[in-house]
């Protein structure tokens, strides 16, 4: 809107009001996401269960055993060292949940069933917001279509994620996951092979690994002044582009690396700003 010079933008920023019909909310925290893969491989090719069932050690059997050790049906993560990183609930924080406009009926409507882990609002909100959770997302390589296929997969990859919360260390969390998975697989005494790795983690700090240049620009971004006037605060620009992007010219571009790293940079900045005060520690 700013690029097109929309005349109503300044007024919108300065006078915008909440438009919903329900009680408004202020979001002051999020969970990050660590995504993992557990790969179990054995035979050189897929096998027929009629010929090799009961003969070969099946990767899917090993994978299911390992994945079942990660989390209970009550939602509690069973990996040692994960929950130990979570800060205890303070009285002030606990009091925040009392006045939140949330009902179990609303949750049941969202779920489309009454299969919630908890039966009360506070435990449900804490499970969603302030505690880590572990969820399974699928098994690559296994038969998943309709019908009755009898193939034994030669390699399967289980996928799961952990939603992490503040004060959880990314590297420590990864170490706990890898150690637990490897120990559980070792207990099986299987001749199959195991690989466990993080596809991506919720790192929020230093992305480029170098100190940035402090620069000024010769161009104009009028909306920056509007934001300063509306908030009474200084505006900071975090550029994503490079000098070769051809801004406002023919074949204007943004390199994929800059798009990805720039997105992470914005998240990093917001996290670092929030960490300066961390008001929830004083509740």
- DSSP state, residue 248: T
State the pLDDT at residue 279: 47
Per-domain boundaries in the chain: 32-86+131-200, 206-277
Phi, psi of 31 (to 5 degrees): -105, 145
State the pLDDT at residue 21: 36
For domain 32-86+131-200, give the fold.
Answer: Alpha-Beta Plaits (3.30.70)
48: its two tokens: 């027929």
State the pLDDT at residue 127: 92
State the pLDDT at residue 65: 98
59 touches 185 (CB < 8 A) = no
State the pLDDT at residue 95: 85
Beta strands in the chain (DSSP E): 32-41, 47-48, 133-140, 151-152, 155-164, 193-200
State the pLDDT at residue 204: 43
State the pLDDT at residue 80: 98
Cα–Cα distance, 278 to 90 (Å, whole number): 14
Per-residue pLDDT of the chain (283 residues; tens, 9 = 90+): 545 555 666 665 555 443 233 555 655 667 888 999 999 999 999 999 999 999 999 999 999 999 999 999 999 999 999 999 999 998 888 888 887 778 898 889 888 999 999 999 999 989 988 899 999 999 999 988 889 999 999 999 999 999 998 889 889 999 999 999 999 999 999 999 999 999 887 654 456 666 555 544 555 566 777 878 888 887 777 777 775 777 667 788 888 888 888 888 888 778 777 766 554 443 3
Q: Give the bridge partners for 164, in sequence order.
A: 32
Count other Cβ atoms within 10 Å, centred on residue 130. 19
Cα–Cα distance, 52 to 6 (Å, whole number): 68
Cα–Cα distance, 81 to 176 (Å, whole number): 6
Q: Are strands 193-200 and 151-152 parallel, antiparallel or unpaired?
A: unpaired
């Amino acid at each position: 809107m700013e690029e097109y010079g929309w005349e109503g933008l300044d007024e919108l920023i300065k006078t915008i009001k909440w438009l919903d019909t329900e009680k408004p909310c202020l979001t002051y925290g999020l969970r990050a996401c660590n995504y993992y893969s557990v790969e179990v491989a054995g035979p050189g090719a897929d096998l027929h269960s009629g010929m090799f069932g009961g003969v070969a050690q099946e990767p899917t059997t090993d994978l299911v055993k390992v994945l079942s050790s990660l989390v209970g049906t009550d939602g509690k993560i069973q990996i040692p060292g994960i929950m130990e990183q979570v800060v205890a609930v303070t009285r002030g924080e606990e009091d925040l949940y009392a006045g939140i406009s949330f009902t179990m009926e609303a949750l049941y409507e969202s779920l489309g069933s009454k299969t919630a882990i908890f039966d009360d609002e506070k435990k449900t909100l804490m499970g969603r917001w302030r505690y880590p959770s572990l969820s399974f997302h699928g098994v690559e390589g296994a038969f998943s279509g309709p019908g009755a296929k009898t193939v034994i997969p030669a390699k399967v990859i289980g996928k799961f994620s952990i939603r992490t919360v503040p004060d959880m260390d990314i590297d420590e969390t990864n170490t706990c996951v890898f150690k637990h998975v490897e120990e559980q697989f070792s207990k099986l005494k299987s001749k199959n092979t195991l690989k466990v790795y993080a596809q991506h983690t919720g790192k929020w700090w230093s992305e480029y690994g170098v100190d940035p240049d402090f620069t000024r620009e010769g161009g104009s971004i009028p909306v920056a002044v509007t934001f300063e006037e509306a908030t009474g605060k200084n505006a900071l620009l975090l550029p994503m582009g490079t000098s070769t992007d051809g801004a406002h010219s023919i074949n204007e571009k943004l390199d994929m690396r800059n798009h990805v790293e720039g997105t992470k940079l914005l998240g990093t900045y917001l996290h670092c700003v929030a960490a300066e005060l961390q008001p929830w520690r004083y509740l």
